[in-house]
Amino acid sequence: MSEDLLKQTPKGLYCPVGDFYVDPIKRVKRAVITHAHMDHARQGSENYLCSSTSEKLLKIRLGKKTYIQSLNYGKKSKIGNAQVSFHPAGHILGSAQVRIEVGGEVWVVSGDYNPAKDITCEPFEPVTCHCFITECTFGLPVYRWRPQVELMKEINEWWKRNAEMGKPSVMLAYSLGKAQRVIAGLDPGIGPIMAHEAVIPYLPAHREYGVVLPEVKTCRNEIPKEQFRKAIVIIPPAADESKWHKALRKGRTAMVSGWMTTRGAKKQSKVESGFALSDHADWNGILMAIQSTGANKILATHGNTDALVRYLNGMGYESGRLGQKSE
């Protein structure tokens, strides 16, 4: 198996025969993007290639003047001497695994992914390959997700209790992906649903895809005080210290994140409640995805790589951390 099909470099993961980078961390000529989160899609590159569904989201992230090309899922495109295609990752709307084939050898870069189905994005699709580069953000056995329907029921019950006490509910959730997952599962019969301005631009793309979302007002919309006491407000964690958020401190606060699995993370987040709803694969999801690819070589990145590598080597895989020799 070629060790040169993909290389970890100071600019990111590089394909020499195609002369492109996957989710580069610095400015490059050709960037192949797995999804529109900022840690994977950075500004400044000359050309971007992504899945068709992700294109509109990338325009919001990177600016309308950014040169972006897109491919439908499964369609192959030749870049240099490499064939490239995108396949659903189940992480957020438009998220993709990148399949790269050179001379009959196939590598797949997972990006961020989640095999658990969710109505706000395309379901994860296993891709057969020789080498699978897997993220392992939650690559420890302690991270095992409960069904999303159960968590959304608890979130709605939490919101309803707060509304009955006349206290607004403040929910910290990332503006793209997590916020839409939460909004799609909220019960609008409890009260008004409001969101930070950073969340609002991504809602039309989800509705266009067919995701059914209730009415969402921006935080600047004025609503009667009595209704506001029953509202739930979706705010990105980065906006936690803004002036208008401090005004909501009289309400109840919660965070939606896979990190909420542990008590320490809940305490560190300084919120009253935490719900372990994640758009990443849990431990079982990672193992299931790896097995479904049929790959013998596994390279781990982004997270608890050491624990996953040790486990996989014990299972007979040729595995290692991305950028290092296999153990």
In this prediction, residue 1 has a pLDDT band, given cuts at 50, 70 and 90, of low
Q: What is the pLDDT of residue 159?
A: 97
- The pLDDT confidence band at residue 239, using thresholds 50, 70 and 90, is confident
Question: Quick check: 221 pLDDT over 70?
Answer: no
Distances (CA, A) of 306 to 10, 113, 114, 303: 21, 19, 20, 9
pTM comes to: 0.93
Binning pLDDT at 50, 70 and 90, where does residue 279 land?
A: very high
Length in residues, the chain: 327
Read off the pLDDT of each residue in 209-220 and give the average, rounded to a whole number. 90
**Residue 318 pLDDT more than 70?**
yes
In percent, the amount of the chain with pLDDT more than 90 equals: 82
Q: Are 110 and 132 a contacting pair, CB within 8 Å?
A: yes
Residue 262 scores a pLDDT above 90: no
Rounded to whole angstroms, how far apart are CA atoms 176 and 280?
13
Look at residues 11, 14, 284 and name the one whose alpha carbon lies nearest to residue 133.
14
147 residue type, one letter: P
**What letter would DSSP give residue 304?**
-
- pLDDT at position 64, please? 87
131 token code pair: 């080498």
- CA distance linking residue 37 with residue 62, whole number of Å: 10
Interval 94-118: pLDDT, tens: 999 999 999 999 999 999 999 998 9
> Please, what are the domains in the chain?
7-142+280-321 (3.60.15.10), 148-275 (3.40.50.10890)
User: Residue 249 pLDDT > 80, yes or no?
Assistant: no
DSSP secondary structure code for residue 132 in this structure: E
pLDDT at 214 over 50: yes
Is the pLDDT at 289 greater than 80? The verdict is yes
CA 139, distance to chain mean position in Å, is 15
Confidence check: pLDDT of 240 > 60? no
Give the Cβ contact number of residue 165 at 10 Å.
11
The answer on pLDDT for 12 being more than 80 is yes
Per-chain mean pLDDT for the chain: 92
Alpha-helix residue ranges (DSSP H) falling in 36-147: 55-62
